[in-house]
């Protein structure tokens, strides 16, 4: 309020705008505050500095100044009235003179509300409050114009559907389909950012379904869109697309609170659940008697996942983690039919590494059978595997499995210099560790010398 009075005393309008207003009506606390003003950027900067704020230039050419004041992070943007180049989503910035004009250029009506300060007057020229009550997303102006001006709003529609649980009105949905191709002028990084926010929202399934229905998924996640192609009119196997959405829902249910091993929302787990079966369409084969196989769909799917995430400019670690979970999601199958040796359990834990807790949840989420006996059998088998892992962990510190001799010891025992031979010897000792569990130093040295006599 004190800040708004400074702007008013200087002869400028000042209003809380957009997401914070929307969230206030939804009862959601806002950590950051967005304001809009009739003041030009230089005037805004001067008024913020005079108020004792720490300021930074977010994009003065776009009218936005960032500030930290009384422990609150704020952004203050001058009223805008932009024009767009059809070949770019970057606007030709023009500053506006009215709050109402600024609001009508925003993405959705629920984000086009403001509260004038210090008078606390609600300004809602586009019916955002009514749409908020109805749980509806629509654009303040013709959606064809809105999405043509800024195609990223197409992705934002999917994201807000997932974030708020709202429906999209028919004209807006039709415009998403008609203009989906314009996403080609949006950077991969901006699309990735919206996709990440969609996946960690409370209702990601809604956003994914909207993307698929409007054809947006064919451009952003074509591997997920392709899952629809596996619908089998003869009913020889389940609907992989619907199965995938159910796996995403079930994976979310298995996330933990902040004190647990997989605090939600967990993007890596959720995105791995979304991508876990993308290898099925290219590997589907029909055999004798109508039998359907998807051999190595886990390996193929991991490769497809890596490629898609690289194109979307995800960071290397996230790509590695998600694709590894996709690659490992089938590893458990067969455990119930044949009891694994301790060696097999060790390898399972070692291969999963820091992803083990996520792999537990992805594997459990992947069971969507309606056959209750089969579901109970799978659950019991995985319960048994987790118990086996816990027992071996207690005895052997499985999470830190290492060869019984390190590189320096190997070189000293065998008289080797650093090089490939040391790596091969270390791998042999790690294989022994996996197969037989911990060996005492003398036994490990004896086994190492035996191997060296035959291989070096």
Q: CATH number, domain at 158?
A: 1.10.110.30
Higher pLDDT, 320 or 428: 320
- Which of 105, 132, 159 lies at the terminal end of a domain, its last residue? 132
- Specify whether 51 is located in the same domain as 123: yes
Is 377 among the domain residues?
A: yes
- Specify whether 265 is located in the same domain as 282: yes
The yes-or-no verdict on residue 128 having pLDDT over 70 is yes
pLDDT of residue 412: 82
Is 411 among the domain residues?
A: yes
- Which of 354, 381, 400 lies at the terminal end of a domain, its last residue? 400
What integer best gives the mean pLDDT of the chain?
Answer: 89
pLDDT in tens, 34-70: 999 999 999 999 999 998 889 998 888 889 999 998 8
Is 229 among the domain residues?
A: no
- Specify whether 381 is located in the same domain as 296: yes
- Specify whether 63 is located in the same domain as 165: no
The yes-or-no verdict on residue 335 having pLDDT over 90 is no
pLDDT of residue 185: 94
The yes-or-no verdict on residue 428 having pLDDT over 90 is no
- Specify whether 260 is located in the same domain as 181: no
Is 320 among the domain residues?
A: yes
Q: What is the CATH number of the domain that holds 65?
A: 3.30.460.10
Give the pLDDT mean for 370-379.
83
User: DSSP per residue over 114-172, as a string?
Assistant: EEETTTTEEE-TT-HHHHHHHTEE--SS-HHHHHHH-THHHHHHHHHHHHH--EE-HHH
Give the pLDDT mean for 424-451.
80
The yes-or-no verdict on residue 219 having pLDDT over 80 is yes
- Specify whether 143 is located in the same domain as 126: no
State the Cα–Cα distance between residues 154 and 175, nearest whole angstrom.
9
Is 245 among the domain residues?
A: no
pLDDT of residue 391: 83
Tokens of 391: 């027992």
Percent pLDDT > 70 in the chain is 93
210-213 own/partner pairs: CB under 8 Å, 24+ apart: 210/157, 210/158, 210/161, 210/168, 210/173, 210/176, 211/158, 212/241, 213/173
State the Cα–Cα distance between residues 325 and 333, nearest whole angstrom.
14
The yes-or-no verdict on residue 236 having pLDDT over 70 is no
- Specify whether 271 is located in the same domain as 392: yes
Is 337 among the domain residues?
A: yes
- Specify whether 152 is located in the same domain as 49: no
- Specify whether 276 is located in the same domain as 396: yes
Q: What domain count does the chain have?
A: 4
- Which of 220, 236, 264 lies at the terminal end of a domain, its last residue? 220
pLDDT of residue 79: 94
pLDDT category of residue 86 using cuts at 50, 70 and 90: low
Is 243 among the domain residues?
A: no
pLDDT of residue 259: 92
pTM of the model as a whole = 0.84
State the Cα–Cα distance between residues 57 and 429, nearest whole angstrom.
57
- Contact of 72 with 33, CB cutoff 8 Å: yes
- Specify whether 77 is located in the same domain as 155: no
The residues, ordered by sequence, that sit 6+ positions from 34 with a Cβ below 8 Å of its Cβ are 16, 17, 18, 19, 20, 74, 75, 77
The yes-or-no verdict on residue 401 having pLDDT over 80 is no
Is 234 among the domain residues?
A: no
pLDDT of residue 413: 84
The yes-or-no verdict on residue 234 having pLDDT over 60 is no
State the Cα–Cα distance between residues 452 and 421, nearest whole angstrom.
9
User: Which of 54-68, 158-172, 182-196 is predicted with the least confidence, judged by mean pLDDT?
Assistant: 54-68
- Say if residue 83 is exposed, middle or buried (CB neighbours under 10 Å; 0-12, 13-18, 19+): exposed
- Specify whether 388 is located in the same domain as 416: no
- Specify whether 439 is located in the same domain as 337: no
Structural domain including 207 reads 135-220
């Amino acid at each position: 309020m004190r800040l708004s009075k400074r702007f008013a005393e200087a002869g400028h309008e000042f209003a809380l705008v957009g997401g914070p207003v929307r969230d206030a009506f939804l009862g959601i606390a806002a950590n950051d505050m967005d304001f809009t003003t009739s003041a030009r950027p230089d005037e805004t900067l001067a008024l913020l500095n005079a108020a004792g704020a720490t300021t930074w230039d977010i994009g003065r050419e776009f009218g936005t100044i960032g500030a930290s004041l009384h422990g609150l992070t704020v952004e203050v943007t001058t009223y805008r009235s932009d024009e767009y180049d059809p070949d770019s989503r970057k606007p030709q910035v023009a500053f506006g003179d009215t709050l109402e004009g600024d609001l009508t250029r925003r993405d959705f009506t629920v984000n086009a509300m403001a509260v004038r300060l210090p008078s606390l007057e609600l300004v809602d020229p586009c019916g955002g409050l009514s749409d908020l009550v109805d749980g509806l997303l629509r654009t303040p102006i013709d959606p064809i114009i809105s999405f043509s001006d800024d195609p990223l709003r197409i992705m934002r529609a999917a994201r807000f559907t997932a974030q708020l649980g709202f429906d999209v009105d028919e004209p807006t949905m039709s415009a998403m389909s008609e203009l989906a191709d314009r996403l080609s002028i949006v950077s991969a990084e901006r699309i990735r950012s919206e996709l990440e926010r969609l996946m960690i929202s409370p209702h990601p399934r809604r956003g994914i379904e909207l993307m698929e229905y409007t054809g947006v998924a064919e451009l952003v996640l074509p591997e997920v869109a392709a899952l629809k192609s596996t619908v089998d009119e003869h009913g020889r196997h389940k609907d992989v697309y619907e199965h995938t959405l159910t796996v995403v829902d079930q994976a979310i249910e298995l996330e933990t609170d902040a004190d647990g091993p997989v605090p939600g929302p967990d993007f890596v787990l959720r995105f791995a659940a979304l991508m876990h079966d993308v290898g099925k369409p290219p590997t589907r084969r029909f055999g004798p008697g109508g039998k359907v196989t998807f051999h190595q769909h886990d390996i193929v799917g991991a490769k497809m996942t890596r490629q898609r995430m690289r194109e979307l400019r995800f960071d290397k670690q996230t790509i590695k983690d998600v694709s590894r979970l996709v690659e490992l999601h089938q590893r458990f199958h067969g455990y119930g039919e044949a009891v694994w040796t301790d060696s097999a359990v060790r390898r399972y834990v070692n291969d999963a590494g820091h992803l083990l807790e996520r792999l537990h949840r992805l594997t459990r989420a992947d069971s969507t059978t309606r056959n209750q006996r089969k579901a109970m059998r799978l659950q019991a088998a995985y319960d048994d595997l987790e118990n086996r892992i816990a027992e071996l962990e207690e005895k052997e510190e499985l999470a830190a499995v290492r060869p019984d001799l390190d590189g320096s010891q190997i070189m000293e025992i065998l008289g080797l210099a650093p090089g490939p031979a040391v790596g091969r010897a270390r791998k042999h000792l790690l294989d022994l560790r996996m197969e037989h569990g911990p060996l005492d130093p003398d036994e490990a040295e004896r086994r190492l010398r035996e191997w060296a006599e035959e291989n070096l």
